[in-house]
Amino acid sequence: IQRMLDAGEVTCTELCAYYLKRIEKFGGKDELNCVCVVNENALSEARASDGRGEKLPLRGCFVLVKDNVDIAGMPTTAGSVALANHIAREDASVIGMLKKLGAVILGKTNLTEFANFLTQGMPGGFSSLGGQVVSAFAKDKPVSGSSSGSAVAMSAGLCSFSVGTDTSFSVVGCAAENGVIGYKPPAGALPSRGIVPITKHFDSPGFFTKSMDDLRIVLSALFG
């Protein structure tokens, strides 16, 4: 995609429109129920990226983010009806980093409520606000841990890469169950400010990609 952008074969605006159409078709409650809200400014941000023409490391990357990570002006609910009207005032640190590197945020993904530590026996991918996330492979297939919405969105090709969070196994477990690549950086390698916490000693943002090459691009941009 980045080679196509550099060659002028596609624009960020066209890519954004493509992903938004896929989200509309597959991401909602009647299908995979993995996307809970779309960034209404995504297209305008993509147009701005085209206008600048900067060759930033994550230019052309369109990202879906687990709904326990703050994005300024968008809801951060952790899947709970109790936080349905909570709007984030500023970006989580990791979101600010991604934006500076050229990524555009497409929206937020459903999750297991409060990242799975609400009650014993909590169904993976279920929340009181969002309902049940559905596997892209089969409706009765488990979607695993709390980052399931981000993993399913990646497996269905609704984004360039997606952001989850991992305290003990949510990113790597969801990746294994949904047929994508998942990476949790060592705790503390990326800042956790702006993420609804389970335990700050172990919480970490993590990433889902389609391939190891894509993951290398993301990590190289973030860590150099």
CA 177 to chain centre: 17
Please tell me the predicted confidence (pLDDT) of residue 224.
86
Please tell me the predicted confidence (pLDDT) of residue 14.
98
Tell me the mean pLDDT in the region 147-153. Answer: 98
DSSP 174-218: HHHHHTSEEE-PPTTSS--TTB--S-TTT-EEEEEESSHHHHHHH
Q: Which residues are the active-site residues?
A: 66, 146, 170
Among the ranges given (97-101, 120-124, 182-186, 220-224), the one the predictor scored with the smallest mean pLDDT: 120-124
Tell me the mean pLDDT in the region 190-219. Answer: 95
Tell me the mean pLDDT in the region 127-134. Answer: 97
pLDDT surpasses 90 at 149? yes
Please tell me the predicted confidence (pLDDT) of residue 137.
96
Please tell me the predicted confidence (pLDDT) of residue 119.
82
Residue 38 and residue 54: Cα distance in Å, rounded? 25
pLDDT surpasses 80 at 117? no
| Residue 37: both structure tokens together | 């809200």
| Single pTM value for the model | 0.97
Tell me the mean pLDDT in the region 139-168. Answer: 96
pLDDT band at 29; cut points 50, 70, 90: very high
